[in-house]
Structure 1
Amino acid sequence: MVVSKTKYEASEAEIKELFSLHKVGNVTEIATLGDGEFNAAYKVTCDDGVSYALKIAPKEGSKVLSYEINMMESEVFWYTQMHEKTDIICPKVYAFDFSKKVIKSNCFIMEMMEGEPLWAMNFSEKEYENVQRQKIGMLSKIHRITNDRFGYMQMGLMDSWYEALKYMAFSLVNDCKELGKDTPDGEKFLSLIDKYEKLLREVPCRMVNFDLWDSNVLYNAGIGKICWIDPERGFWGDPVADFITLGPGQKSPLSDKQKELDIYNGMAKEKIRLTKETEIRYALAVCYLALIEEVEKYVRYEEDDPTYIRNTVDARDMYDMAFGIL
């Protein structure tokens, strides 16, 4: 079991008061929900028999990374974007509360979705292929959602992907330094962003999820469809970045994902071709994920925690693969 330093532990009284305040219902049952390592989540059932998911941002005073500050407001925004602009199945948000008056942290109440996370399913080969097509189809839909400024909304948007990615990376390097740690790989990544400035300034601005792991997708066996949850780590940026979670995963180059690219291009309005330029854009996105994993371990876990060790190994493998391309 992963022990996180950031999770808010809400009391029964707090949850009941929150649901009453927002006129959602009278709470009869509360249970912890999910295996997330950052936010707290609860399944809350009311006296009408309806269950809801309550999600709570990290507790007051928790050490979080720069881009994670006020990230929950971004999550509510991304759910709204998907409901308004796509037919992607994802939870409806019934109420959000960023006042910190009842629960002393940002929180929101959303629809409790049916299904199990993909990692928990025992799919046949055919079922697995169908689910992967659905995942890729969801990405093709969010990539139709455009903006004219880049980056995380909670950090301030920039005029180009070059400026946004550099600021996102610089903020993590700075977070690392403030924690008393050095990140030579992070510094190297910053120099590579400058090296490819011209290319990055030409990148289109799209909704990017950047977190489409199997733990963030539920499978509803009754209807044979998947549901998208936890989009809080999304940003406005390079759609190529979303291929990190597909196929053989984050430690493999884009060239190992031709099958996924072909499926995507069969669904997408704007195709993503495997070129030297897209390989570079993808490798820079992998570096960014590696930097996140490298730095977040210092604020989330103790050094002997298996997840701390996992992050260390994953980041090293991602850097090595990406630096080899760049």
Structure 2
Amino acid sequence: MIKSKTKYEASIEEIRELFSFHKLGNVKTIAPLGNGEFNSAYKVILDDGKSFALKIAPPESATVLSYEKNMMESEVFWYKMMHENTDILCPEVYVSDFSKDIVKSNCFIMQMMEGEPLWAVNFSDNEYENVQKQKIEMLTKIHRIKNDRFGYRQAGLHDTWYDALKSMAGNLVKDCNALGYKTPDGEKFISYIDKHAKLLQNVPCRMVNFDLWDSNVLYHDGKICWIDPERGFWGDPVADFITLGTGQKTPLSAKEKELEIYNETAQEKIVLSRETEIRYALAVCYLALIEEVEKYVRYEPDEPNYIRNTVDSREMYDMAFAIL
């Protein structure tokens, strides 16, 4: 598994006992699963040949960011939302265990989905374009799921996107300060949230994934499957364009093709305008602030991922601040 300070290392005994307690069967083999950098994940095969995915949150002793506390309960919730409101292919959760009795951290057991992450598949240009189209259509489906309050379920909801985004950004700045670091860019970002308060008070409240990178989408037999919706929140649907097309370091205006595909099946169209550009740039700033602060709790300064986060966040801030 990827090296990270937040990962829970479960023993074979814990996993065996967990599966036995929940009457799923006898564990035969256990193997690390996926490239995530926060939770631990295992592929568990039983002696009857059935296979499951087990996901475990960081231990209570791990230093995590404010919004990441109890994030696993939210992940289970977002899977439920997708199963109940869309036809998106995603794992079924069989058991949620937040008791910490056997495994000493929150965990859940879900359907083991077949396939490889999109980045690992050798697509032709046409195939890749088709898969990205499917991905965008998935977003139009979750953006039909509405709520009347904004933000992270696990961190408290707010009446407007302005209030939620200001709180989300403020919590990260507080996290950064508590870790002994300053974030002038984070403070600047909050000043831009205030500058655009009126605009942000009129944003629709929708299910937002905010993490639909190619690593969180599996491909098998022509179909794509969505995994890891844990970083979802109720908020501005424009924020989900970050992972599309040219990625997080380019403005919304660089994603006209993606907007066009989105608007073909979306109930509510997203039109490129000065307003949507500002909303998008603020979402980019939020991702930049996450990357800036999370490196302090996840990695050591000489590790490649620490350096990656530093460079990424700088480029995102520079692009977004130029718009704001």
Q: Which residue of 2 aligns with 1:10?
A: 10
Gaps of 5+ in 2: none
Aligned match for 1:236, one of 225, 234, 257 = 234
Q: How does 1:84-163 map to 2 (within 5 A)?
A: 84-163=84-163
Q: Which residue of 1 aligns with 2:259?
A: 261
SS at match of 1:30: strand
**How much does 1:60 deviate?**
2.2
* Separation (CA, whole Å) in 1 of partners of 2:60 and 2:209: 26
Query: Is residue 2–residue 307 contact of structure 1 (8 Å, CA) maintained in 2?
Result: no
* Separation (CA, whole Å) in 1 of partners of 2:250 and 2:223: 27
| 1:121-143 residue CA offsets vs partner (Å, 9 max, x unmatched) | 11001100110000000000000
| 1:134-176 residue CA offsets vs partner (Å, 9 max, x unmatched) | 0000000000000000000000000000000000000000000
Query: Is residue 8–residue 56 contact of structure 1 (8 Å, CA) maintained in 2?
Result: yes
Q: CA RMSD in A?
A: 0.6
Q: How does 1:245-256 map to 2 (within 5 A)?
A: 245-256=243-254
Q: Does 1:306 align with 2:322?
A: no
SS at match of 1:84: helix
**How much does 1:25 deviate?**
1.4
Q: Which residue of 2 aligns with 1:282?
A: 280
**How much does 1:94 deviate?**
0.3
* Separation (CA, whole Å) in 1 of partners of 2:25 and 2:158: 41
Identity %: 76
Q: How does 1:205-244 map to 2 (within 5 A)?
A: 205-220=205-220, 222=221, 224-244=222-242
Q: Which residue of 1 aligns with 2:33?
A: 33
Query: Is residue 40–residue 57 contact of structure 1 (8 Å, CA) maintained in 2?
Result: yes
* Separation (CA, whole Å) in 2 of partners of 1:256 and 1:25: 51
**How much does 1:93 deviate?**
0.1
Q: Which residue of 1 aligns with 2:321?
A: 323
Instruction: State the TM-score, normalized to the length of structure 1.
Output: 0.99
**How much does 1:22 deviate?**
1.0
| 1:88-119 residue CA offsets vs partner (Å, 9 max, x unmatched) | 00000000100000000000000000000011
**How much does 1:2 deviate?**
3.9
* Separation (CA, whole Å) in 1 of partners of 2:42 and 2:2: 17
User: Counterpart amino acid of 1:6?
Assistant: T
